[in-house]
Amino acid sequence: MSAGKPTPAVVIRVGKDGTPFFEAKWRDAERQQIKRRLGPAWVEPNGDGGWRRRRGRPPAEWLDERAAHAAAAEKVAEVERERADAAVRVERAGRATVRQVAREWLAWKRDVKGGAPSTLRDNESLLAEPDTPYKRGRGRAEGRIMRKFGDRPYDDVTTRQVSAFLRELDAEGLSPRNVNKHRSVLHAIFAYAMKPDTYALAANPVSGTDVRHEPPPPPLDHYEVEEVEALAHACERGAQRGKAPTYRGRPVTLTTEEQAARTVEDQQDADLFRVKFYSGMRLGEILALRWRSVRFLPDLSGAIIDVDRAVSAGVEKEPKGGRGRPVPVPQAAAEALARIAQRGDFTDPDDYVFCNRLGRRLDPSAIRRRYKRGAAAADLRPLRLHDLRHAAGSVLARSLPLVAVRDVLGHAKLSTTNRYLHSKIDTAAVAAVNAAFRAGADASTDKAAA
């Protein structure tokens, strides 16, 4: 290969149908990795986890290793020609690419509109370049949007092309919800391009495409008071910690100080889950809660929590919706908060209510892991940590007007809160139904007797 051109690596992958195929991968001038499928590989397992060439001459369209390397070189040249042609067309036309508009949209959403960090992180994930390594784990981004549209002039994309792209996602096996996410991000990018102060694009090519039908959410399932208390008691026993620490296969003997510190942490875990359930607060709001925002009522008959901060993607900001709210909590939550306040350290107004041994904010992933282990130790059916919020909404909806439940939970729309009216039926509802039909039967009997 001539100097200056990337040298592709050729690897063998296995398709969904079990057929091995050759794939070429290389890095372009911007150090972005590119992968292209070359064709079915004329190989068979060698018995040691690898591959060897099959006997005989490969059929048409099948590749052996030599042919795969030749095809890889051709594929590099083909991609470079396509990119060069696209760059020339854009340069001649003086037009921005979809990639450029997408980056501008992300910056505008972050700096002008003040998008939530977690939402921006999700958008950036969908707009990542193909094969970009994830920040955590070994996975790599598919980069479907940039692979398909990144190099195209923004005003050359048609509704037919977007529709074909969405159908490709369907065929790939993506869920309707995931396909709709790709569509939503594309729609937002082109809506930004339509602004008079950006590119004044005449029409949004995504508007004419179909939104995929998503199945309705399953009926809400949630824990009741006695189940949450069972979870809390399991945490108080330290059951949420998982396996006991060992060294070279032997149990580690904890010092008295370490045992005392763990007892405090176990109690905090138990009371964190109690407060989350009795308040209905989001996890990000729990993590950002400081003592200055907690007001105890006399005799610990309850408390009021002023929710004015939240953590989103590791960034502390205003709560979802951009506004704070006061949350009344019952006596059980007030007593839990009072227990935490007795820890001796980190109880000043600006200290976090729930914190680690150094007074720092807790890690949400660790909380979720401890929650799952605690629920399993309490022999509870597996539900998400976020379902404690749904549990609060469902319990409150049995006794409070829906508008009051909306305000407690911080919903922007009453339609969101309305879901809690259709949660599972309790025994009191069954008793009420029995009474209603019994009254109707008695009335019919009296009428017949008359």
Mean pLDDT of 373-393: 94
Percentage of the chain modeled with pLDDT above 70: 92
> Is the pLDDT at 401 greater than 80, yes or no?
yes
Q: Locate the domains of the chain by residue range.
A: 9-93, 98-193, 225-396
Mean pLDDT of 68-83: 88
Q: What pLDDT was estimated at residue 87?
A: 64
Mean pLDDT of 331-343: 95
Q: What pLDDT was estimated at residue 1?
A: 40
According to the per-residue pLDDT averaged within each range, which of 45-49, 413-417, 434-438 is highest?
45-49
Q: How confident is the model at residue 398 (pLDDT cuts 50, 70, 90)?
A: confident
Out of 221-230, 267-276, 317-326, pick the least confident: 317-326
According to the per-residue pLDDT averaged within each range, which of 29-38, 69-78, 186-195 is highest?
186-195
First to last CA, the chain: 104
The Cβ of residue 434 has, within 10 Å, a number of other Cβ atoms equal to 10
Q: What pLDDT was estimated at residue 443?
A: 59
pLDDT digits (tens, 9 = 90+) for 171-227: 999 999 999 999 999 999 999 999 999 999 999 999 999 999 998 888 888 999 999
Q: What pLDDT was estimated at residue 93?
A: 56
What is the average pLDDT score of the chain?
88
Q: What pLDDT was estimated at residue 446?
A: 61
pTM of the model: 0.65
The residue type at 223:
Y
Out of 30-34, 164-168, 175-179, pick the least confident: 30-34
Contacts by 68-75, CB closer than 8 A, 24 or more apart: 68/10, 68/22, 68/24, 68/38, 68/39, 68/41, 69/10, 71/22, 71/24, 71/38, 71/39, 72/8, 72/10, 72/22, 72/24, 72/36, 72/38, 73/1, 73/8, 75/8, 75/24, 75/36, 75/38
Q: How confident is the model at residue 122 (pLDDT cuts 50, 70, 90)?
A: very high
Q: Does domain 98-193 have CATH number 1.10.287?
A: no
Alpha carbons 153 and 164: distance in angstroms, whole number: 18
Q: What pLDDT was estimated at residue 3?
A: 45
Q: What pLDDT was estimated at residue 450?
A: 61
Mean pLDDT of 316-343: 90
Q: What pLDDT was estimated at residue 2?
A: 42
> Is the pLDDT at 369 greater than 90, yes or no?
yes
Mean pLDDT of 24-34: 80
- Identify whether the C-beta of residue 25 lies closer than 8 Å to the C-beta of residue 8: yes
Q: How confident is the model at residue 238 (pLDDT cuts 50, 70, 90)?
A: very high
Secondary structure in 3-state letters for the chain? CCCCCCCCEEEEEECCCCCEEEEEEEECCCCCEEEEEEEEECEEECCCCCEEECCCCCCCCCECHHHHHHHHHHHHHHHHHHHHHHHHHHHHHCCCEHHHHHHHHHHHHHHCCCCCHHHHHHHHHHCCCCCCECCCCCCECCCHHHHHHCCCEHHHCCHHHHHHHHHHHHHHCCCHHHHHHHHHHHHHHHHHHCCCCCCCCCCCCCCCCCCCCCCCCCCCCCCCHHHHHHHHHHHHCCHHHCCCCEECCEECCCCHHHHHHHHHHHHHHHHHHHHHHHHCCCHHHHHHCEHHHEEECHHHCCEEEEECCEEECCEEECCCCCCCEEEEECHHHHHHHHHHHCCCCCCCCCCECCECCCCCECCHHHHHHHHHHHHHHCCCCCCCCCHHHHHHHHHHHCCCCHHHHHHHHCCCCHHHHHHHHHCCCCHHHHHHHHHHHHHHHHHHHHHHHC
Q: How confident is the model at residue 69 (pLDDT cuts 50, 70, 90)?
A: very high
Q: How confident is the model at residue 89 (pLDDT cuts 50, 70, 90)?
A: low
The Cβ of residue 355 has, within 10 Å, a number of other Cβ atoms equal to 19
Mean pLDDT of 274-281: 95
pLDDT digits (tens, 9 = 90+) for 279-294: 999 999 999 999 999 9
Q: Which is nearest to 340 in space by CA: 392, 388, 400, 274?
A: 274
> Is the pLDDT at 134 greater than 80, yes or no?
no
> Is the pLDDT at 397 greater than 60, yes or no?
yes
- Identify whether the C-beta of residue 232 lies closer than 8 Å to the C-beta of residue 271: yes
pLDDT digits (tens, 9 = 90+) for 213-230: 998 888 888 999 999 999
- Identify whether the C-beta of residue 42 lies closer than 8 Å to the C-beta of residue 64: yes
The Cβ of residue 85 has, within 10 Å, a number of other Cβ atoms equal to 11
Q: How confident is the model at residue 30 (pLDDT cuts 50, 70, 90)?
A: low
> Is the pLDDT at 394 greater than 70, yes or no?
yes
* CATH number of 225-396, picked from 1.10.357.10, 1.10.443.10, 1.20.58.2050, 3.40.50.10210: 1.10.443.10
Same fold, 98-193 and 225-396: no
